[in-house]
Amino acid sequence: MEQKTGFIYDESYFWHDTGNGALFLPPGGWIEADEHGESPKSKRRVKNLLERTGFIEELKVMKPRSATKEEVERNHNPSYVEKVKALSDADGGDAGELAVVGRGSYEIALLSVGGAITGVDAVMEGTVQNVYALTRPPGHHAEKELGMGFCLFNNVAIAAHHAREKYGLKRILILDWDVHHGNGTENAFYDDPEILTISIHQELNFPPNRGYAEHLGEGAGEGYNVNIPLPAGTGNAGYYYALEKVVFPIAEQFKPELIIVAAGQDASVFDPLSRMLVTADGYGKIAALVKELAKKLCDGRLVVCHEGGYSAAYVPFCSLRIIESLSGLKSKVTDDPYYEAIKSLPTDVLAKHQVEAIEKVIEIQSSFWTFTINA
């Protein structure tokens, strides 16, 4: 029998205080105070849904350890780490661009990084078949010297450093399906051929002027940075197509020893910070496809770390479907409760302009990788 899927979280993840902004802006001027867009709510509701459905019993619940400063500094400049700590020890502030630090956020961020590291250890040591870590604060926008987009420390990048350092891995794939570009992870490994970074995102969303398909990596890392910008309105069908036509052929040639996913559920049809059409079932299938890839290429070694996702109502169902796919089991939630509201949307239609966007990536990437062009 297959081992359980690991589920990693800590109550502290929900105590990282992003304040009373509205969406991503601080209150003041014409902005009435509200709940910040990156509030604990969506992630707490993931855990709540797992408990309410009883599905958490099917998982191996694991507590994260804290990352050490040394581990964080494998990816971040010490002066930046110190800056986050100083803000956290005082009354909070911004660690860069829209990177909210609350009182005590530094320790919680270390625990969030530690969740990704704990996930790597569990998968590498084979105590679970794969892992879903409910990491918060998120990490994929955090660059070496700059917090950005609600991210303080780059969880997945530091986890990849850890995997390389501790287990001597030579080829790690970081797949980022958050709807925003994984600029922090790109920044971490841009000249590094051992860590292949692939980001699938809504084109020209966030950060500004990043995530172009032409950004290929540099030096020894040239060809090991893959950006797949998709047009607004892309749904499940476009994501499956991008996986099948671009991600899988590249991964099969790269032959990763471990796959880490920066899993943002903010490409969902209800997300306020994007314009995409992925459904909960779509996320489930995306995760199932990636699980198959991991089985084929690296004995199933797969660590999924939660990034964005701002529809508190819908994210829990997206994450539930992902976790079901990772475990190979089904929960009691047989149907998407929001199905009536989404059934008439073109979530499963592959539009011509979406195919063209993906073909453009293939054309650019074909200097480095081989693709089979067909229908």
| Distance of alpha carbon 50 from alpha carbon 47, whole angstroms | 5
Q: Which residue type does 63 have?
A: K
Short-list 173, 102, 110, 182, CA closest to 142:
182
Shortest Cβ 179–Zn ion spacing (Å): 5
Shortest Cβ 202–Zn ion spacing (Å): 9
**Cβ neighbours of residue 268 closer than 8 Å, sequence gap 6 or more:** 274, 276, 278, 279, 280, 283, 309, 311, 314, 315, 318
Q: Which is nearer to Zn ion, 265 or 327 (CB)?
A: 265
| Distance of alpha carbon 74 from alpha carbon 188, whole angstroms | 10
| Distance of alpha carbon 307 from alpha carbon 255, whole angstroms | 25
| Distance of alpha carbon 149 from alpha carbon 97, whole angstroms | 6
| Distance of alpha carbon 8 from alpha carbon 134, whole angstroms | 6
- Catalytic hit among 16, 36, 140, 141: 141
Which residue ranges make up the site for Zn ion (CB under 5 A)? 178, 180, 264, 266, 308
| Distance of alpha carbon 183 from alpha carbon 140, whole angstroms | 7
On whether the CB atoms of residues 285 and 325 are closer than 8 A, the answer is yes
261 alpha-carbon distance from chain centroid: 5
Shortest Cβ 43–Zn ion spacing (Å): 13
Residue nearest to Zn ion (CB): 308
Residue 36 a catalytic site member:
no
Q: Which is nearer to Zn ion, 183 or 347 (CB)?
A: 183
Shortest Cβ 182–Zn ion spacing (Å): 9
Residue 156 is encoded by which pair of tokens? 């997945």
Q: Burial, 318: exposed, middle or buried (Cβ in 10 Å; 0-12, 13-18, 19+)?
A: buried
Helices (H), 69-209: 69-72, 78-89, 105-124, 155-167, 183-189
Helices (H) and strands (E) in the chain, counts: 12, 12
Shortest Cβ 304–Zn ion spacing (Å): 15
Shortest Cβ 180–Zn ion spacing (Å): 4
| Distance of alpha carbon 226 from alpha carbon 236, whole angstroms | 20
Q: Which is nearer to Zn ion, 169 or 175 (CB)?
A: 175
Shortest Cβ 312–Zn ion spacing (Å): 14
On whether the CB atoms of residues 265 and 283 are closer than 8 A, the answer is yes
Question: Annotated active-site positions, please?
Answer: 141
